[in-house]
Structure 1
C-alpha cells in the first residue's frame, strides 16, 4: 500500500504512547511491533451500527466483518485526522468523530502477520448512506446491537479480532450517553 507513491509507514510507540519511530507497515506487522491504530464506529439515528465486510484482496482479515473503518495514522498525522481520512477513503462518509477510549492488543493473524496496536476508538453519528471503496469494502450493512451481539456469539469466525475485543465496550459507552 502506498501513500502518495511512498511506502506506507506506521508510528511505533511504547505502552504509554511515546513515539519510538516509524516503520513500513508490513514490516511492523511481520515483526509484531506496537504501533498506533484507529477504529471508527458510525451509528445511525435508529441506533444501528454501520459495519462492513473487508474486501477479499486485503492483506489480512480479508472477507471478515468489522467496524465502520480502521487504519493507522501516518507519521505526523493525528489519530482523529486519520479517523476522518479513513472514514472518507473507506466508506465515502463524513461525520463528527469523538474518541471514546484507547486500548492495546496483540493478536496473530493470517499470512504470518501480528497486530500489535495501540488502538484509539472513535464514534460518530450519521444517517448518510455510505459510498464504500470497493478496494476496501466488499459489503456493508446497518445492524442493531442485539442482532450483532448474537451473530458475533454464534459466528465469531466471521469477525475481525479487534472488533470482537471492542464492540461491547463501544455499546457500554453508547448506553452511558443515552
Structure 2
C-alpha cells in the first residue's frame, strides 16, 4: 500500500491523502512534512546527507531527519518514528521550534511544497543510518551547522530554516513555540 502524505490547503487544513511515492514530481501538491534537528548533550547537531539514489533531492546535506506525518499521526509520534527508522535513534525532549515553516523548492524537476514544522530533539547515542535514506552524517558544533548554509550541496529547506534558527541562538537554548501555530492538519 505504501506511505501516504497528508494534503493541505493554503490554511493548513487537510484536504485528503495521496501516496508519497507518486506525489513528488514537477507538480507536487502542498502537503504536510517536518524537519528535525537532533542535538547531543554537548550541543552538537547531527546533520545528514540524503542517500544518492533518492528520487527527491538526492545527496543534499541537511538537518538531521525529515519526514511526513502519516494520516492521523501526531507530530511527536512522526518525529519519533522517522528518526528511529532513518538513524536508529530514540529521541527525547522534542521541542517545537518553527511551527509555521512553509517552503517550496525544486531540484532535477522534482518539487517539494510543504508546511514543514521544525523541531529539536535530544539524543544520547550514535546514529546507525538506514542506507536507503541517509548516505552520510556528521556531528557539528553550532558554528559548523551555520557554515553549512554556504557549502555546496546544502538543501534549500535547510538554508531557509537557518535564516530563522540562527536568531534563536544555540540549539540547546531553543524554546518551545506556540503549538497553536501548527497547521490544523496535525496535533502536537
Q: TM-score, structure 1 length as denominator?
A: 0.87
Question: Where is the strand percentage greater, Structure 1 or Structure 2?
Answer: 1
Report the CA distance between 1:143 and its aligned residue: 0.5
Report the CA distance between 1:98 and its aligned residue: 1.8
Which of 130, 133, 137 aligns to 1:133? It is 130
Q: How does 1:137-148 map to 2 (within 5 A)?
A: 137-148=134-145
Partner of 2:156: 161
Partner of 1:88: 84
1:114 is aligned to 2:134: no
Looking at both structures, which has the greater relative contact order when contacts are Cα pairs under 8 Å and sequence separation is at least 6? 2
Aligned length: 170
Report the CA distance between 1:34 and its aligned residue: 0.7
1:8 is aligned to 2:6: no
Q: Cα RMSD between the aligned structures?
A: 1.8
Q: How does 1:7-86 map to 2 (within 5 A)?
A: 7-30=2-25, 31-86=27-82
3-state secondary structure, aligned to 1:170: helix
1:101 is aligned to 2:98: yes
* In structure 2, distance between residues paired with 1:126 and 1:174: 19
Partner of 1:172: 167
Q: TM-score, structure 2 length as denominator?
A: 0.83
Question: Where is the helix percentage greater, Structure 1 or Structure 2?
Answer: 1
Given that residues 148 and 154 in structure 2 are in contact (C-alpha distance below 8 angstroms), is that contact kept between their aligned partners in structure 1? no
